[in-house]
Amino acid sequence: MQVDNVKRLLMLIPCGALLAGCDKPSEPVAFTPEMAGFSSEFDFDPLRGPVKAFTQTLVDDKGEVAKRVSASMSEEGCFDVLELHDVANDSGVALILDANFYLDAQTHEKKVRTQGKCQLAELPAAGLSWETNDRGFITMAKGPDVQIKYQYDNEGYPLGKISQAKDKRLTDEIKPSADPHKKMDYTAVSLLNDKPMTRAIQSCDYDSHDNPVSCKLQLTDESASPAVQTQYTIKYTTEYY
């Protein structure tokens, strides 16, 4: 986290010298079930607090945009609009919330059914349905040929998932920083039938809401021989209520 010169000076002053005393840093705002669920399913970094709109742009080491995610959200924390663009593969989709469904913004086809306020419930085309716990967090997804289990920490931060499809098991494990204000500093591994596939290391700068402003991401393809490393930068814009 960037600290300005005034804050640096204050950090050097003993607590007893400050008239107001020294208060413990406030605890970060927990992640909502909707933010945790959507970030896990649509592969973007979850954000804290009263987010109104955001963009996350993945830039490769050549300076070219590889992926972009953008969204606008209601004050209740629902994703009103979610746009996903895989630039590298020239694919994407824009979803808009309409009653109990997310519709394709272009065709208005019903893509995702919701539950609760606006949590994921069913992907009709794939026959996939999500189950939630009593807090509204997605804990499992089931389809004709797949079953997925999800894990979170006590702040609702996604710790990964295990996807089982017939004789293949894909395990995604995320280990965030021990600093609760820096959850996006993490290491992550993906294993296919317990065989390492990819490893990710991310470190970020943060805003006052403990959300990332920019991150450095190193991906290692451990399935290749020798392993191949790729460096990315993630740029964020976040607007709050």
From residue 56, give the alpha-carbon distance in Å to each of 5, 83, 85, 91, 240: 29, 11, 11, 16, 15
Query: Which pLDDT score is estimated for 88?
Result: 84
**C-alpha span between 74 and 16 (Å, rounded):** 43
Per-residue pLDDT band at 27 (split at 50, 70, 90)? confident
Assigned fold of 29-240: Porin (2.40.160)
**pTM of this structure:** 0.86
3 versus 179: the higher-pLDDT residue is: 179
Nearest Cα residue to 28 out of 210, 154, 213: 210
Query: Which pLDDT score is estimated for 15?
Result: 39
Backbone angles phi, psi at 9, to 5 degrees: -65, -45
- Residue 228 CB contacts under 8 Å (≥ 6 apart), including other chains: 220, 221
